[in-house]
Structure 1
Amino acid sequence: MSKSSPGPTPGFLVWRLANRWRVAVDRALAPLGLTHAQYTLVASLHGMRRAGERPSQRRLADHLGMEALYVSKLARALESAGLVERVRDPRDPRAVQLSLTDEGQTVTRRAVAVVQELLEQLLEPLGGLDAPRTRAFTDELRTLLDAPLTPPAHHGDSDENDEGTTP
């Protein structure tokens, strides 16, 4: 743990919150046959479709901040489940476009409602979804997500990364 901070680091708290959220979403969506990662893909496709977009796997990976190979793996599993359609882009035969099937749209709408309810529970301590504290928190998260991260130079073994520090 850092000598300047008596409690957990912000990185550790972000990690804990992200894991808590992922587990809650996984459990809530299990009856619909979706994992949290699969949900992020279908919910994003749902939103992009509403905006008139049929994204490529690469575009969706960039949107989600995921590796393209992982998005491909998720899309294949969702295609096998009958929720996603993968087709070659007529303008670029190397690219694969993704869209929700009719069943995928139905499942996604149900999943969005479930996750929305969870989000309301998560944000209740801040005053709810539309509260000023929630808007400020969201702005802070955007700021952190927009900040570039580069791995530090390797300095050999160190005992500074004890339990409670950034994972």
Structure 2
Amino acid sequence: MSNGSPGPTPGFLVWRLANKWRVAVDRAVAPLGLTHAQYSVVASLHGMQRAGGRPSQRQLADHTGLEALYVSKLARALEAAGLIERTRDPRDPRAVQLTLTEQGRAVTRQAIEVVQDLHQQLLEPLGGLDGSRTRAFTDELRTLLDAPLGPSVPNDQSTQETTP
């Protein structure tokens, strides 16, 4: 048996890294009037619009990994700030489509540039944005993100096999 502690788990390290990056992005985009979550919405919306899409709030939530209710709250705040427009989808009156306004496109382009510079700095220990270690790290993260979550298995005696 080892006398030392086993060290941090991968889950703990991912959580710490995610928090570190969220705080860094929050600080970087704050001068533009955005939070990290708002940046995630406008930058994703920017990319989806450039690809010819006009996503619904639900599609944007699925794309970002944020809860649909949270995206709705963020969209209302971004609309109040004049950065996006929310309109009913003519094909589905329950769905709300999102588009960046002209001001929203300008702010988003600035924010993307700021965050790309930040990512270069944060990824420097792995060789920067274009480094081979960064590409390998990105591939590993995609593998983890693409893995489905299995159903919860209760730790219940009645579900465990017993031997005579």
Normalising to structure 1: TM-score of the pair? Answer: 0.87
* Structure 2 residue identity aligned to 1:13: L
CA distance in 2, matches of 1:76, 1:11: 33
CA distance in 1, matches of 2:33, 2:68: 22
Shift of 1:88: 0.5
Shift of 1:73: 0.4
How many residues get paired? 154
Instruction: Give the structure 1 partner of residue 9 of structure 2.
Output: 9
Instruction: Give the structure 1 partner of residue 23 of structure 2.
Output: 23
CA distance in 1, matches of 2:70, 2:5: 36
Instruction: Give the structure 1 partner of residue 32 of structure 2.
Output: 32
Instruction: Give the structure 2 partner of residue 62 of structure 1.
Output: 62
- Tell me, what secondary structure is at the counterpart of 2:123? helix
Instruction: Give the structure 2 partner of residue 78 of structure 1.
Output: 78
CA distance in 1, matches of 2:95, 2:125: 43
Matched ranges for 1:1-167 at <5 A:
6-150=6-150, 152-155=152-155
Give the alignment's Cα RMSD to 1 decimal: 1.8
> What stretches of structure 1 of length at least 5 have no aligned partner?
157-167
- Residues 136/92 of structure 1: CA separation in 2 closer, same or farther (3 Å cut): same
User: Cα deviation per residue 1:75-129 (whole Å; 9 max; x = unaligned)?
Assistant: 0000000001000011111110000000000000000011001100111000111
Instruction: Give the structure 2 partner of residue 161 of structure 1.
Output: none
Between 1 and 2, higher relative CO (CA 8 Å, sep ≥ 6) is seen in 1
CA distance in 1, matches of 2:124, 2:151: 35
* Structure 2 residue identity aligned to 1:86: R
Shift of 1:149: 2.2
- Tell me, what secondary structure is at the counterpart of 2:98? strand
- Tell me, what secondary structure is at the counterpart of 1:114? helix
Shift of 1:155: 4.3
- Residues 4/124 of structure 1: CA separation in 2 closer, same or farther (3 Å cut): same
* Structure 1 residue identity aligned to 2:65: G
- Tell me, what secondary structure is at the counterpart of 1:26? helix
> What stretches of structure 2 of length at least 5 have no aligned partner?
157-164
Identical pairs, percent: 79
Shift of 1:5: 6.7
